[in-house]
Amino acid sequence: MKTKQKMVSEFRRAEIVDAARSVFARKGFAGGIVDEIANEAGIAKGTVYLYFRSKKEIYRAVLDRDMEFSKKGTLERMDAAGNLKDKIRAFTLARLENAEAKKEFFRIMDAEFGSVSFTRSQYRDWLREPVLRLASAIEDAARRGEIRPVPSEKIAWLVADMTRGTIRRRLLGRSDTPPGEDAELLVGFTWAALAAE
Amino acid sequence: MKTKQKMVSEFRRAEIVDAARSVFARKGFAGGIVDEIANEAGIAKGTVYLYFRSKKEIYRAVLDRDMEFSKKGTLERMDAAGNLKDKIRAFTLARLENAEAKKEFFRIMDAEFGSVSFTRSQYRDWLREPVLRLASAIEDAARRGEIRPVPSEKIAWLVADMTRGTIRRRLLGRSDTPPGEDAELLVGFTWAALAAE
DNA sequence: TTGGCGGATGACCATACAGTCATTATAATA
DNA sequence: TATTATAATGACTGTATGGTCATCCGCCAA
């Protein structure tokens, strides 16, 4: 039965990816051991290689899946928001909460985004779409006179940077406030900067 | 002759640290090979172990030295600045330029700050001093009525986060503007947020 | 009950690498 | 120059680990 096979197989893959995320988050790419991933997934090492060609491929699968999930969630929440301020809040909050819920994944992103060479080009642009959408919203609001005119794309990236930096600080344990609070501060700050004139 | 010995020894240590920085930046901690560090320093692997007990110790030395340098530079430039806006600019610009000049180091910081377990506690707080100084400046300015009243420490961290995020984006090659330009945008944005009422 | 089949296993192999240490080269001193 | 002290070397060792593959297991149809 083809369908059932496929389902079982997808399930196994997902289990392995979950285990891998946890191991890589703890040890990084080079430090993460396939045997450990297998253990954590409750299977033998050999089995891992039935589902993935290599350690690299497992790593890529982890990042792929989680980035896709994070990007999708962010875009959806932004679409649901009405005005600019809400969109900014949606963007920031989605990312902060995502980071909170998936600390492990974000620790990987933080840890090896820039250093494991084969992931760089793959992941350079995953934020671009949400940011560009934010930029459009800023531009529209400026055109309608709700905020002062600003270089919208640059400002959008700045908001993204601020969010990223906040996530990082939270991951390092230098913030013990709930994500909503950090987000609110960020949104208020940004709004003050945009509304001013 | 004690002094000369010491000098030679310090010089060698520095050479090794320089080579290590380059290797670790390229490959991460686990991926960085001691033999490669030795080669790059133009010495044999055994010699490395005359100056450092272990690979970990080399890694720590790299981070120690560069963080110290970066922190010192940032504080000095902030002290030299007169008013709040200049202090914010000093803080941001010092860090951006530092990141530009020492891409390798920052790539390490970015890469493994949060994942190599033995470095976490060591480096969690290296930014604290500059940020707290920025917070004081904000507080003073608010007291003098130059800006609106804000939760100074939180805002200071927010500025730090924004700077960190910008550095990260620059490292990933998503920004091709000179550091001064990014800094100016950031400072202007922050100033608008603070001056607003 | 048997035969066959695909998924699962883990012992095994080859390689890579951190760290050691006996030996050698170099410099200081007398 | 001879002697001693110090720095440097790189072959070697033990261990860890990515990836393979002969074998096994459990299920199902006949």
DSSP-assigned letters across all residues of B48-91: HHHH-SSHHHHHHHHHHHHHHHHHHHHHHHHHH--SHHHHHHHH
User: Would residue B58 count as lying in a domain?
Assistant: no
In this predicted structure, the answer to whether residue B192 has a pLDDT above a threshold of 70 is yes
User: Would residue A181 count as lying in a domain?
Assistant: yes
**A54 CB contact with strand D at below 7 Å:** yes
Select from B52, B77, B93 the last residue of a domain.
B52
Mind listing the pLDDT tens digit for each residue in A130-161? 999 999 999 999 999 999 999 999 999 999 99
Q: What is the pLDDT of residue B121?
A: 62
Whether the CB of B149 is below 8 Å from some CB of chain A: the reply is no
Whether the CB of A7 is below 8 Å from some CB of chain B: the reply is no
Sorted by sequence, the CB contacts under 8 Å of residue B105 that are 6+ apart come out as B21, B25, B62, B66, B70
Looking at the fold, whether B12 and B97 belong to one and the same domain comes out as no
Mind listing the pLDDT tens digit for each residue in B66-90? 888 999 999 999 999 999 999 999 9
Over chain B, what is the mean pLDDT? 88
Residues in A closer than 8 angstroms to B30, CB to CB, are 27-31
Q: Which of residues 14-33 of B touch A (CB under 8 A)?
A: 25-31
Looking at the fold, whether B71 and B43 belong to one and the same domain comes out as no
Of the candidates A121, A99, A118, A101, the one whose C-alpha atom is nearest the C-alpha of residue A109 is A99
pLDDT band at residue A6 under the 50/70/90 scheme: low
Distance A112 CA to C14 C1' (A): 28
Domain holding A171, by residue range, is 65-195
Looking at the fold, whether B42 and B135 belong to one and the same domain comes out as no
Share of chain A above pLDDT 90, in %: 63
Q: Which of residues 44-63 of B touch A (CB under 8 A)?
A: none
User: Would residue B40 count as lying in a domain?
Assistant: yes
Gap from A4 CA to chain B (nearest CA, Å): 38
User: Would residue A148 count as lying in a domain?
Assistant: yes
Average pLDDT over residues B57-69: 91
Distance B53 CA to D5 C1' (A): 22
Q: Which of B28, B154, B162 sits opposite A158 (nearest CB)?
A: B162
Q: For residue A19, how many other CB atoms are within 10 A of its CB? A: 21
Q: Which of B27, B158, B160 sits opposite A186 (nearest CB)?
A: B158
User: Would residue A122 count as lying in a domain?
Assistant: yes
Q: What is the pLDDT of residue A191?
A: 97
- Minimum mean pLDDT among A127-131, B35-39, B102-106, B182-186: which range? B102-106
Q: Residue B114's domain is classified under what CATH number?
A: 1.10.357.10
Average pLDDT over residues A57-80: 92
Q: Which of A31, A120, A161 sits opposite B30 (nearest CB)?
A: A31
Looking at the fold, whether A182 and A104 belong to one and the same domain comes out as yes
Q: What is the pLDDT of residue A42?
A: 95
Whether the CB of A174 is below 8 Å from some CB of chain B: the reply is yes
In this predicted structure, the answer to whether residue A44 has a pLDDT above a threshold of 90 is yes
Average pLDDT over residues B38-42: 96
Looking at the fold, whether B137 and B184 belong to one and the same domain comes out as yes
Q: What is the pLDDT of residue A4?
A: 42
Total of domains in chain A: 2
pLDDT band at residue B125 under the 50/70/90 scheme: confident
Distance A24 CA to C7 C1' (A): 26
Q: What is the pLDDT of residue A104?
A: 77
b/e for A44-66, b at 16 or more Cβ within 10 A? eeeebeebbeebeebbbbbbebb
Residues B93 and B183 sit within 8 Å (Cβ to Cβ) = yes
Residues A78 and A91 sit within 8 Å (Cβ to Cβ) = yes
Looking at the fold, whether B78 and B146 belong to one and the same domain comes out as yes
Looking at the fold, whether A89 and A179 belong to one and the same domain comes out as yes
Which range, A4-8, A56-60, A115-119, B41-45, is most confident? B41-45
Whether the CB of B174 is below 8 Å from some CB of chain A: the reply is yes
| B164/A165 Cβ within 8 A | yes
**B33 CB contact with strand C at below 7 Å:** yes
Q: What is the pLDDT of residue B130?
A: 96
User: Would residue A59 count as lying in a domain?
Assistant: no
CA distance B31 to B21: 13
pLDDT band at residue B93 under the 50/70/90 scheme: very high
Q: What is the pLDDT of residue A185?
A: 98
Over chain A, what is the mean pLDDT? 87
Sorted by sequence, the CB contacts under 8 Å of residue B60 that are 6+ apart come out as B118, B119, B122
pLDDT band at residue B2 under the 50/70/90 scheme: very low
Looking at the fold, whether A118 and A179 belong to one and the same domain comes out as yes
pLDDT band at residue B37 under the 50/70/90 scheme: very high
